[in-house]
Structure 1
Amino acid sequence: MRARLISPAFLLVLVFALAWPGWLGWRHVHGLGGPLDRIETTTLDWRVLLAGPLPPPETVAVVAIDDETIEAEGGYPLDRRLMARLVENLRAAGAKAIAIDILFADAGEPAEDAALLEALSGGDVVIAGAGLFDHGSAASLVPRPDRVLWPQGTFAQAVPVGLVNVSSDSGGTPRHVPLVHLTRSGPTPSFVLQAVSLYEGEVPPLGRERLQIGDTERRLDLGWHVPLRFYGPRGGIPTVSAERFLAGRPDAPDPQLAGRLVLVGVTATAMGDTFATPFDARLPGVEVLATGAANLIEGTGLTRDSSVRRIDAVAALALATIGVVLLAFLPLGSALAAGTLLLIGWMLVTVFAVGQGFWLASALPIAGAAPPIAAAGIWRWRRDTKIARAVAKAEAALRRMQPRALAARIAEDPGFLSAPRETMAAILFIDLAGFTTMSERLGTKGTRDVLKRFHSLIVEEVMPRDGIVLSFMGDGAMIVFGLPDEHPDDGQRALAAAFALMKAVKLWLTEASGEHKLSGVRLGGHYGPVILSRLGHDEEQHIAATGDSVNTASRLMEVAKENGAALALSKALWDNAGSSSEINPPRTWRTVSIRGRDKALDVGLWD
């Protein structure tokens, strides 16, 4: 049975397979991922872990105000004259640019501020400001702080300032460093962008999704964000204690700092800010900023611009469409396996992509493909169930047209008897005496009722003995023992069925003699070789048993009639059945001529 493939239900599923991932993809391309972004960042962590940490950068280093520094200098915050000395000594160590991740928001002692201001005014230092976001601030691709915590006036006017804010996910893991903030005073560069500008000696040209650094472009995410790729746990970026440069002025450039962008920040226990990252649960904030700077300078950050986001959207649409098409055309098990392999394949692609520096989405394609594939699976299951029920119903109807054993064998082996097969079988023929007269008297409906009961009696006696009614012929029937397969006791079962039929039909005729006035029943039986085969056209066939044994069994009904007997069985069938105490011997054995047959046959007759 063939079901319509292009059904209204399938068209709805196909529309859903286009609309759902299309809508999710549009939101993703425009930075409106929502809850999917939370799932995405979780999967990104294990992909980053699989890809492993990056080698330490060669252009960026961290000078840490750590526990050693605070213990040696008597506490925190450090005296600003100490900070001035630190800056001067870092210059002496060969730092190309210095970025201080410390908020000098309050005025200090005039002498201290003056000393620090003098040290910061060398043109190679950037200091930190911070954007403040009120709870419930409107979301924007470019960060829009409600307020900015600037360094105190003299520092802010004399030294470049950058905002140190990073963009974290819902779990607090920093994912991006924004390069620009839209403050009330206008676009304001980030701390990282200011630091990189000092290192490069110029402000890198900022395009729509590009940042030009030297001769190369850095591809940015939406809103001028740098997707972070971490160098490893704490210390993944070369880190030196600040105390080393407070204890004394270096006599020569320090190999760990010379020619590098140096970020100064607090890493002391419980004093500096920390962030959870894939490699470290408490990575100091200054290392996060250093990571962003190194990613920009060396091009080691993850690439995730509009082009990459469009690839994600196309992947979601393609996976959903292919999955639905597979479910429409392949067997259900194969389609589900192929769809699963497609999703696993895409996940492997995203893992490989992270290793190559590309942030391809894993959550979006799966979220875009899974609901349409599930809908297609439900549609396919319902369609297949409907087809299976129709097929089962049709098969049940067809089985009624064939003997049960034959129908089961053909269902199991569709090629059964496609080539003829010779075998030994026991054949019985049975018909009613006086049927023609009865048919004229009862009419078509009455005759049908009589035949239905007669045929039922035949099946009830033959089927328990594993015989097959190969055909009903009006008031007669042909019964075969040895089909579909030959058995040693075929003759014995045929003999038992013959006597059971004779007894059952006689009882029925006796009980309803006044109703149909049939004069009796006749049976003929023989055992011998037959040819089992399929006869008919290639498109319309039936199973047949042919040969001399079949003709002989049919002629034995005539012998029974001629001799006034109810049952005539050949000596061959009697001998094959063997002796049985349940079967009475015939009233007589006769050697008779069979019409159309040269040789006479020994026949037993029963009344």
Structure 2
Amino acid sequence: MPSRAPACPDPAGAAPRGPGPKQRPGERPGDRRRRRLAVLAGGLLVALVATGGTWLVGHSGLSALEAQTLDWRFRLRGPIPPAPQIAVVTLDERSLGAAGGWPPRRGALAEAVERLHAAGAKAILLDLLLEQPETTLPEGMKAQLSALRRLLPDGSPGAAALDRLTATSEGDQRLRRAIAAAGDVVLPFALSFDRSGRSAAPGGALRDRAVARLSGLSGDQPAALSLHPGRLTLPEPSLLAAAAGLGHALVLLSGDGRPRRQLAALGIDGEFYLSAALEAVRLFEGGGPAEIDFGRGILLDGRTIPTDRQLGVLVNHTGADYPAWSFADLLAGKVPDAAFAGRLVVVGASAAVAGRGFATPYAANEPGHLLQAAIIDDALTGRFLKRGPLVVGLDLVLALAGGLLALAAGLALRPTLALPAVLLLLLAGFGAAYLLLVEERLWLGVLVPSAAVLAGGVWGATVQALAELARRRRVERERANLSRYFSPSLVETLAGRPDGPIARQQDAAVLFVDLVGFTARAEALPPERSLAELRRFHGLVEEAVFAEDGTLDKFLGDGALATFGVPDPRDDDAAHALAAARRIAEAAAAWRAEDPEAPAVAVGVHHGRLFLGDVGGRRRFEFTVIGDTVNVASRLEGLSRKVGAVILASDACVARARAAGPAGTAATEGFEALAPQPLRGRAEPVALWAWGRVQGAAAGATAST
């Protein structure tokens, strides 16, 4: 029989030991490198989503979706108090009678301007296109004659005849006088573009109204700042001459048809014109010249209107309920002068009357003059939104930070915790974007940071899930291996245990069993018969050990080593060891009953202190037990032949079993006490107990109950 307490391959497939980087519990060779690669790949993914998403939002239809998130924030914020300097007069449906229908009669408009001036209005924006003179001709004929007049040179007989035919009415003359007398009226002009690329010359009347000076621009002027419209729609010449200010009424619509960004000023053939809203602010602030500084924005008497490089501003829709009065009530004298005194008054038509409105965060069909009021409000209060290169850069930084945090959460936390962590990051990002909009008027993006957070979180959770799946598969393989050596009750404890060396002392019971004379017998048997008998022996040992919650440490050729109480000791370990020994002996007896030539078994059992741990070198190490207790059990198994017993147990083992209660008493039933016997390596004889003794064997041994 082989020497006792030999080593066998670790059934759990443990990893080689030796110098190397510190590993996490349960980590296998290569896991750390794979984890680093996964983190690097996740970081690259987050960076790609953050940078690529930032570019896409700025150069694709995703910007419309980002703008929708801005509208959500506006609605969450709710309306804000309006600037107190603004008042509104609306030509609504009930005002059509007083205004003489649509378009309103010039005399009615003149009366409105006169009343506002008399009430002390500081500036008036008449947000109506007054291109054609008012005549008694039908509208269709009037438009045709006006188009014909533009084709004729000034001073020609035909032009003079058309001028007389379309001469201004008394209403036009009255409106001209009212505008001139007020000295603070702003009229809008419109421009449009066609595909021919032709340009409508602004003419001297428009050029005279170019109030913005250009500064702060080095190099060539951006092409977007010098437009060439196909058509200009200017106020009627006499009204244009009388107006104190002229501003463009171009409304820019984003991809979803909403007016979020507007041009504070635009260039036409090298001359710059403010928007009608900012022209009204200029007059309201004193009428000084405007200066365009491409490094800062538009300067109006010390007030800075921040713009982008194309002179655009982002409208901070207030949703405010401006003090508004009906055009009919104004003409009827029902509005007190205090409603307009010292204010900038915006006069326009409702969407139902004008036939067109604009979708804003707070209204599905907001009239154009209320959009002008919102721009005026932003200019007077300095509440324009900010989204320049620095804010876009902040978007990128937040996207990277959020994505990496989500990646870390996905990699470090269990899925049940990683998902709430990612959701918290998303909510934190939206909350930060909302607070910065409310407090600092910053338009931070939420799409790209959210996409980066989701990408990082999903990647981290996927890597974590794959690692967990690999770990479970590894544990299943370990469990399958362990189930061949350990009792089922211990397989779950040992499977998937943290890697690394185990070394400790503990009490346990040790059982050695051997087939008596099998080596000599095997020489006379065919190999197939020898292997079959050996397998049957291993099977009965395995069944007996596992039935008593033992650990099958290893097979030793025609023998086996089993432990009870490894790795977790219990009070009844000795009882289980003796019960397992009896099961083995009884199974062997049944085998010999079937085949009288079958080999007998010899079993030795001892309980005591032993060393439990991993032994071996760098490439191969094993989990086993060593120490004096193991040696005594091995020698008891060898001594059993001399005393003529099937099972030979130490007195320490039997005493320990009986102390465990009824189960131990049952396990020790039938054992006979023997006279103490000397054992190699022991200075004093060892008290022994035998079970299944052969009569007359081992003379000198004393039997007792």
TM-score by length of 2: 0.70
Partner letter of residue 612 of structure 2? Answer: R
Render the CA deviation track for 1:315-341: whole Å, top value 9, x for unaligned. Answer: 334434554466567777666655443
For 2:602, the equivalent position in structure 1 comes to: 522
Cα distance change on mapping 1:534 and 1:541 into 2, 3 Å:
farther
Q: Tell me, yes or no, if structure 1 residue 217 matches structure 2 residue 322.
A: no
1:175: Cα distance to partner? 1.4
Query: Of the candidates 568, 582, 592, which is equivalent to residue 506 of structure 1?
Result: 592
For 2:87, the equivalent position in structure 1 comes to: 61
Contact kept? 2:548, 2:576, Cα under 8 Å: no
Q: Tell me, yes or no, if structure 1 residue 118 matches structure 2 residue 177.
A: yes
Cα distance change on mapping 1:270 and 1:291 into 2, 3 Å:
same
1:352: Cα distance to partner? 0.5
**In structure 2, how many angstroms separate the alpha carbons of the residues matched to 1:111 and 1:600?**
138
Q: Tell me, yes or no, if structure 1 residue 48 matches structure 2 residue 74.
A: yes
1:396: Cα distance to partner? 5.1
For 1:534, the equivalent position in structure 2 comes to: 612
For 2:157, the equivalent position in structure 1 comes to: none
1:150: Cα distance to partner? 2.9
Contact kept? 2:422, 2:453, Cα under 8 Å: no
1:268: Cα distance to partner? 7.1
Render the CA deviation track for 1:333-390: whole Å, top value 9, x for unaligned. Answer: 6666554433332211111111122222222322355446545554554455446545
For 1:80, the equivalent position in structure 2 comes to: 106
1:270: Cα distance to partner? 4.3
Cα distance change on mapping 1:407 and 1:391 into 2, 3 Å:
closer
Range with bigger deviation, 52-61 or 567-576: 567-576
Partner letter of residue 149 of structure 1? Answer: T
Q: Tell me, yes or no, if structure 1 residue 456 matches structure 2 residue 539.
A: yes
Contact kept? 2:254, 2:260, Cα under 8 Å: yes
Q: Tell me, yes or no, if structure 1 residue 189 matches structure 2 residue 274.
A: yes
Indicate the SS of the match to 1:255: helix
Contact kept? 1:70, 1:268, Cα under 8 Å: no
Indicate the SS of the match to 2:310: coil
For 1:226, the equivalent position in structure 2 comes to: 313
Cα distance change on mapping 1:149 and 1:387 into 2, 3 Å:
farther
Partner letter of residue 523 of structure 1? Answer: V
Partner letter of residue 278 of structure 1? Answer: P
Contact kept? 1:43, 1:362, Cα under 8 Å: yes
**Structure 2: any 5+ residue segments left out of the alignment?**
1-27, 136-168, 198-222, 695-705
Q: Tell me, yes or no, if structure 1 residue 131 matches structure 2 residue 191.
A: yes
**In structure 1, how many angstroms separate the alpha carbons of the residues matched to 2:423 and 2:122?**
52
1:195: Cα distance to partner? 1.7
Cα distance change on mapping 1:151 and 1:536 into 2, 3 Å:
closer
Q: Tell me, yes or no, if structure 1 residue 205 matches structure 2 residue 291.
A: yes
Indicate the SS of the match to 1:466: coil
**In structure 2, how many angstroms separate the alpha carbons of the residues matched to 1:227 and 1:288?**
12
1:498: Cα distance to partner? 2.9
**In structure 2, how many angstroms separate the alpha carbons of the residues matched to 1:222 and 1:54?**
28
Partner letter of residue 95 of structure 2? Answer: T
Query: Of the candidates 322, 338, 343, which is equivalent to residue 237 of structure 1?
Result: 322
**In structure 1, how many angstroms separate the alpha carbons of the residues matched to 2:195 and 2:459?**
40
TM-score by length of 1: 0.80
**In structure 2, how many angstroms separate the alpha carbons of the residues matched to 1:554 and 1:24?**
72
Indicate the SS of the match to 2:395: helix
Partner letter of residue 105 of structure 1? Answer: E
Indicate the SS of the match to 1:534: strand
**In structure 1, how many angstroms separate the alpha carbons of the residues matched to 2:37 and 2:543?**
48
| Aligned positions of 1:285-364 closer than 5 A | 285-324=368-407, 327=410, 338-356=421-439, 357-364=441-448
**In structure 2, how many angstroms separate the alpha carbons of the residues matched to 1:435 and 1:400?**
23
**In structure 1, how many angstroms separate the alpha carbons of the residues matched to 2:185 and 2:364?**
30
For 1:164, the equivalent position in structure 2 comes to: 249
Indicate the SS of the match to 1:211: strand
For 1:264, the equivalent position in structure 2 comes to: 347
**In structure 1, how many angstroms separate the alpha carbons of the residues matched to 2:34 and 2:501?**
32
For 2:258, the equivalent position in structure 1 comes to: 173
Cα distance change on mapping 1:14 and 1:480 into 2, 3 Å:
closer
Query: Of the candidates 635, 642, 647, which is equivalent to residue 562 of structure 1?
Result: 642
Contact kept? 1:59, 1:259, Cα under 8 Å: yes
Contact kept? 1:428, 1:480, Cα under 8 Å: yes
1:65: Cα distance to partner? 1.7
Cα distance change on mapping 1:284 and 1:532 into 2, 3 Å:
farther
**In structure 1, how many angstroms separate the alpha carbons of the residues matched to 2:125 and 2:305?**
21
Render the CA deviation track for 1:152-194: whole Å, top value 9, x for unaligned. Answer: 3433455343232333344443212222345579654322232
Contact kept? 2:351, 2:357, Cα under 8 Å: no
1:52: Cα distance to partner? 2.9
Report percent identity of matched pairs: 28
**In structure 1, how many angstroms separate the alpha carbons of the residues matched to 2:524 and 2:578?**
39
Indicate the SS of the match to 2:325: strand
Render the CA deviation track for 1:462-516: whole Å, top value 9, x for unaligned. Answer: 3234333244344322334555434496377436513343236537875xx6xxx
Contact kept? 1:492, 1:577, Cα under 8 Å: no
**In structure 2, how many angstroms separate the alpha carbons of the residues matched to 1:102 and 1:368?**
47
Cα distance change on mapping 1:456 and 1:304 into 2, 3 Å:
same
**In structure 2, how many angstroms separate the alpha carbons of the residues matched to 1:144 and 1:342?**
48
**In structure 2, how many angstroms separate the alpha carbons of the residues matched to 1:601 and 1:17?**
72
Render the CA deviation track for 1:286-321: whole Å, top value 9, x for unaligned. Answer: 111111012112212222233223322333344345
Render the CA deviation track for 1:126-146: whole Å, top value 9, x for unaligned. Answer: 112233466999xx9768765
Indicate the SS of the match to 1:174: coil
Contact kept? 1:509, 1:520, Cα under 8 Å: no
Q: Tell me, yes or no, if structure 1 residue 466 matches structure 2 residue 549.
A: yes
1:419: Cα distance to partner? 6.0
